[in-house]
Amino acid sequence: MMQLVQFGGSLLAIVLLAWLAHRLGLGGDLRIRSEDHARELADEAMSGFDPVDIAIDRAGYSAIMRDASGHILLLRRHGSHFAGRLITTRPQARLDQDLLTIEAEDRPFGTVTLNLGKAAQEWAASLRRLEKSRA
């Protein structure tokens, strides 16, 4: 009988913690849902960044965008949030059909692979037009 009570208490505690995590908005499958959502995330990452051209990864885990001045912002999912980096110099980038892989200058940001479909070629070309790093 004691084991049954212990099992029931443990099960109740697990259900309570799952409910609490849901109410707090923890976990879940956070993805970029639309261009408007990407705009919001860009503004959070870099206040005032107003993209005019946006390409969202097909899975919604990352995006690349350009503002009217030609500045390029790279967004990627980082845990339960999104992080963004401004690409100021030509990054190491590889194009493989619909996939564009970018190694940001900021090493901790890491490498991002975006499945952009046909837009991958256009974005790879725009990255090649950036100045090379002087380092």
Q: What is the tens place of the pLDDT at every residue in 32-41?
A: 999 999 999 9
pLDDT in tens, 102-124: 998 778 888 999 999 999 999 99
Q: By percentage, how much of the chain surpasses pLDDT 90?
A: 62
Mean pLDDT of the chain: 89
pLDDT in tens, 41-68: 999 999 999 999 999 999 999 999 999 9
Across the range 57-85, mean pLDDT stands at: 92
Across the range 1-15, mean pLDDT stands at: 91
Q: How far apart are CA 41 and CA 31, in angstroms?
A: 11
Phi, psi torsion values for 72, nearest 5 degrees: -115, 130
Residue ranges in 24-129 assigned as alpha helix (H) = 35-45, 119-128
Of 46, 77, 72, which Cα lies nearest the Cα of 60? Answer: 77
Q: How far apart are CA 49 and CA 66, in angstroms?
A: 9
Of 23, 26, 33, 134, which Cα lies nearest the Cα of 89? Answer: 134
The alpha carbons of the chain give a radius of gyration, in whole angstroms, of 20
